[in-house]
Structure 1
Amino acid sequence: MTDSTPDGPHGASPGGPLAGIRVLDLTAVVLGPFATQTLGDWGAEVIKVETPSGDLVRNSGVFRNRGMASVFLGVNRNKRSVSLDLKTPEGAEVLRRLIPTADVLVTNIRPAGMARLGFGPEQCRALNPRMVFAVATGFGQDGPHRARPAFDEVIQAASGLADIVGEEEGRPRFVPSLVADKITGMALLSAVLAALLHRERTGEAQLVEVPMLETLTAFVAVEHQGGHAFDPPRGEPGYERLRHRKPVATQDGWMTLLPYTAAHWRAFFEAAGRPELIEALSVDDPVKRNAQIDRVYAAVADIARGRSTTDWLALCETLDIPATAFSAIGDLPSHPHLAAVGMFQPMQHPTEGTLRMAKPPTRFAATPAAIRRHPPRLGEHTAEVLAELGYTAAEIEDLASRRAIRRG
C-alpha cells in the first residue's frame, strides 16, 4: 500500500487529533462505518469487528473482487478488520479481551441483539468502566418503534424528507443518496467526540444513543417546520423559498444562480439591465421580497436565458453573488477547485489495484487528518490483533479451525 501524504504544515504530526484513541467498530452498512472511518481519518485506531460473512455492504456497488465493492471502499479506510463469530464462546472471548483495551465501542447492532450476544452496555461497562458505548438505532429506545429494523429509505420516508423531495410531483420521492445514513453518521461522530470530551474532563464514560428517525426529523425540521414552529400554527409547514429555488436555464446550459442579500439582488438586476425590478419586486425589503419569492425567481429564470453560463459566472464572480455551473458526478475529479486541492487521492491496494479516494475534507493545522490504511479485506488483521492480545500462533490456528475467527 502507498499511504497518502498527510495535509498540513511541514513538520506537523501525521497522527491526527485523535491519535491514541482506540475504537471498536461493530457497525455495518454505511451509517456506522461512515462515522468510524472519520474517527480513523482523524487519527483514532479503529478495529472493525465483522462476522465471518463480513459487512453486508462489502458486495454493494462496483467491484474487482467480491467483498471489496465500491460502497464498502468508501466508508472503511483507516481500519483493521477482525472477523469473529460472536455466537461462539471462543469468538466472544476475543471481543471480551478487546473491550478493556478500547476507549469507544460503536455499534449499530440493535440493542436487544447486542444484549443477547453478551455485549450490552452494562455488560461492556463491567469489562471496561472507562469505555464510551455508542449505539446508532433506527428509532429511539424509549418509543414504540424501538425494536423495528431501519434502513435509509425507511427513515427518509418516516422523517418527512421523501414527502418534501417529491412535493412537486405529488408523490413521495427518495433523495438518491444515503442521506439518512450519512447525516446520522455525522451525528454519531459528534456524539462520540462529545462523550470522549466529557470522559476526559470528569473520568466518567457513558452510553450514547443516536436514533436515525429523530436525527433526520430534527435535520428536516430546521427550515421545514414553517408555520408549525408556532403553537397554534401560523401557517403551513415547509419553507416557501425552497419550493421555488430551481436550476436556471442559460443560453447554453444550466446553472444555479442565488442572489441572497438585498445588495446581491440590487446588483444582479442592475447588471442584468433590469433596474426597474428592484422596486417592482421589493428586493430591498427581505420580508416583502420573500412574500413574492415566486415572482423573484421567475424573473431570474427569464433573465438567465439571455446569456451563456460562462458569462453569468464571470458576472457573478465580479458581483460576489453565489453561483456555479452544475457538475456531473463523473466530472468531479476534474473540477478546477477539487483538482487544485487534491480532493481525490490515488491509493495502491494490495488486491484491488489503484483506488481513487476522496480525502478527509476537514483540515487540522497541527494534527492533519490522513488516509493511512487501505480498506481491509475481511479478517485481514485478525491474526495480527489476536497476537497483540497475547494469543499464540497455535491458539490462533485452533480458533480458525473451530471457525470462531476468520483470517484474511
Structure 2
Amino acid sequence: MSTQQRGGPLQGVRVLELTKVWAGPYVGKLLAYLGAEVIRVESEGSLDVTRTFGVDDIDNAPGWQSVNPQKLSVQINMKSEEGIKLILDLVGECDILVENLRPGAVKRLGLGYETVKAANPEIIYVSMGMWGSDGPLAYQTGYAPCFAALGGISALVGHEPGAPEGMNTRYADSTFGAAAAYAALVALLHRKRSGVGQFVDVSAVECMSSMISDSIMDYALNGVVHECDGNRHPEMAPHGVYPARGGEWVSIAAANGKQWAGLAECMGKPELARDPRFATLADRKANEDELDEMIAVWTAGCCPMELVTKLQKRGVSAAKSQSSLDLIADPHLWVREFYRDVTDPDGNSKPTLGPSWEMSRPAQLGDAAPRLGQHNAYILGEILGLSGEEQETLRASGVTR
C-alpha cells in the first residue's frame, strides 16, 4: 500500500471518510494531523453543509476550511451502484473507514460493516451515531445540541439559581470526534499486534456523559443531583470570571493557599489570606459569594491586561477573556504553533488551527482543505488503477461527479 508520505506516527495509514458536518470530519482531521492519508468521499449531489452554509464558493467556506485541512477529496456518487463498487474497491486500499451518516444509511447503501469487512477483512470500521449503532434508540439521529443535552452536560451549564443555559455546540461535536479518533487509534494498535480489524461503535451521548462522570457517580452512589454553578470549581476558590475596565472580563483561579495569598497581596489586602472567612479552601468555599463580590469590586476598575500580568507574576492563574480577534492576534498562540499557515489549491496562504499536541517527529502540515474532487485523478488513477478513459466514462455518467 502506497500513501503520501508526510511523516508522523500514522505515516503509511490510509483513512476513508464517509462523513458529514463536524464530528465525523473532525476524526479525519485529527488522524491527518498525525500523518495519515485521509480521503474524503463527496459528490455534487450531496454536498456537505459546511461547504454551502452562507457562502457561494463551496471550496472556500469557513466551516469547510476549518475541519478539513490536509485531506484529499474524491467525487463518488454513493447513490449509484457503480459508485458503491468504487468505494468498496477503495476500502480494499484503506486501513480505517469512518462514517457518521444517518442511522441505517450505510447499510441501505450497501456499505455496512459486514459488506466492508468482506472487501477488507482487516479494516477498522468506525461507526459514529448519537446513541451508537445498536439498542432501542439507535434509530434516532441528532446534532451537537442533542448530544450535549441527552448526555447531561447542558443541564450543568448555567448560573445558580437560574435554569440551564446549554452547552456550546462545537464542544459536543469535537469531543465526540476526538473520542472516535482515539478509539480508531486503539483499534489500529490492536490490529498491529493481532492482525485483526475491528468494528468500533461510538455513541455521542455516551461520550458526553463521560465528561461529567463525577456528577453521575455522585448521584448513583450518594443521590446528589448537581445544579448549575456557573464558573465555580469544587477544588478551587476563588474560581471565576470577573468584570474589568472597558467592559472586559478576566478569569482568576486560586488552586492553593499560596495562590490565594498572592491574589490577596495583589488586591492590596494581604490580611485576607489570614481572615478566618477565607483562610482555608473550605472557608473560602463556604463564603464564596462574599469572596466573589469582593474580588469583582476590585477588578472592575482595573485594566485587564495589566491585572493579568500582575497576577501571573505572583503565580496566580489569570487570563483576559478573549474575543475571536483577541485569540487570532495572541502572540503566545502563534509562537506555540496553535495556529499554522497552510496553502490552498490556488497557492494562497491562510491560517488554520494546528494540532493540540507537540511531537518530536510530527507530521508535516501544509495543505488547506481541498477543492471538491481535487484528487480524483490520484485516487481513481494511482490508487485504484483506473485508466484515463475509464475515469472519463465514470465522470460522464455521473458516477464520479
Q: What secondary structure does 2:60 align onto?
A: coil
Stretch moving more, 382-391 or 32-41? 382-391
1:387 aligns with 381
2:23 aligned to 11, 28, 31, which one?
31
Q: Which amino acid aligns with 1:290?
A: K
Mapping 1:12-161, distance limit 5 Å? 14-53=6-45, 54-60=47-53, 63=55, 65-161=57-153
1:301-324 per-residue CA deviation (whole Å, 9 max, x = no partner) reads 233235433442232122111001
Stretch moving more, 385-394 or 287-296? 287-296
The structure with higher relative contact order (CA 8 Å, sep 6+) is: 1
1:107-142 per-residue CA deviation (whole Å, 9 max, x = no partner) reads 102452111111111111111111100011111334
| CA distance in structure 2 between the aligned counterparts of 1:246 and 1:315, rounded to whole angstroms | 17
1:349-408 per-residue CA deviation (whole Å, 9 max, x = no partner) reads 23484422222232111x2133233311112212321112121111111111211111xx
Instruction: Report the CA distance between 1:181 and its aligned residue.
Output: 0.7
Instruction: Report the CA distance between 1:249 and its aligned residue.
Output: 1.9
Q: What secondary structure does 1:208 align onto?
A: strand
Gaps of 5+ in 2: 234-238
Instruction: Report the CA distance between 1:224 and its aligned residue.
Output: 3.9
Instruction: Report the CA distance between 1:287 and its aligned residue.
Output: 3.1
Q: Which amino acid aligns with 2:250?
A: M
RMSD of aligned residue pairs (Cα, Å): 2.5
CA gap 1:281/1:132 in 2 versus in 1, 3 angstroms: farther
Mapping 1:192-341, distance limit 5 Å? 192-219=184-211, 221-225=212-216, 227-231=218-222, 233=223, 235-238=224-227, 240=229, 242-243=231-232, 245-252=239-246, 253-280=248-275, 282-305=277-300, 307-341=302-336
Structure 1 contact 59–68 (Cα < 8 Å) conserved: no
Structure 2 contact 160–227 (Cα < 8 Å) conserved: no
1:255-274 per-residue CA deviation (whole Å, 9 max, x = no partner) reads 11112212111222234232
**Aligned residue-pair number:** 389
2:392 aligns with 397
Structure 1 contact 257–323 (Cα < 8 Å) conserved: yes
Q: Which amino acid aligns with 1:93?
A: K
Structure 1 contact 76–376 (Cα < 8 Å) conserved: yes
CA gap 1:333/1:241 in 2 versus in 1, 3 angstroms: closer
Instruction: Report the CA distance between 1:178 and its aligned residue.
Output: 1.5
Structure 2 contact 394–400 (Cα < 8 Å) conserved: yes
Instruction: Report the CA distance between 1:206 and its aligned residue.
Output: 0.7
Instruction: Report the CA distance between 1:153 and its aligned residue.
Output: 1.7
Structure 1 contact 362–369 (Cα < 8 Å) conserved: no
Q: What secondary structure does 2:101 align onto?
A: coil
Q: What secondary structure does 2:182 align onto?
A: helix
Q: What secondary structure does 1:236 align onto?
A: coil
Instruction: Tell me the TM-score normalised to structure 2 length.
Output: 0.89
Q: Which amino acid aligns with 2:22?
A: V
Instruction: Report the CA distance between 1:145 and its aligned residue.
Output: 1.7
Shift >6 Å, 4+ stretches: none
| CA distance in structure 1 between the aligned counterparts of 2:268 and 2:127, rounded to whole angstroms | 57
| CA distance in structure 2 between the aligned counterparts of 1:93 and 1:250, rounded to whole angstroms | 61
Instruction: Report the CA distance between 1:240 and its aligned residue.
Output: 4.6
Structure 1 contact 359–370 (Cα < 8 Å) conserved: no
Structure 2 contact 343–367 (Cα < 8 Å) conserved: no
1:357 aligned to 352, 364, 367, which one?
352
Instruction: Tell me the TM-score normalised to structure 1 length.
Output: 0.87
2:236 aligns with none
Q: What secondary structure does 2:111 align onto?
A: coil
| CA distance in structure 2 between the aligned counterparts of 1:297 and 1:167, rounded to whole angstroms | 14
CA gap 1:355/1:310 in 2 versus in 1, 3 angstroms: closer
CA gap 1:249/1:172 in 2 versus in 1, 3 angstroms: closer
Stretch moving more, 34-43 or 268-277? 268-277
Structure 2 contact 164–228 (Cα < 8 Å) conserved: no
Q: What secondary structure does 1:65 align onto?
A: coil
Q: What secondary structure does 1:186 align onto?
A: helix
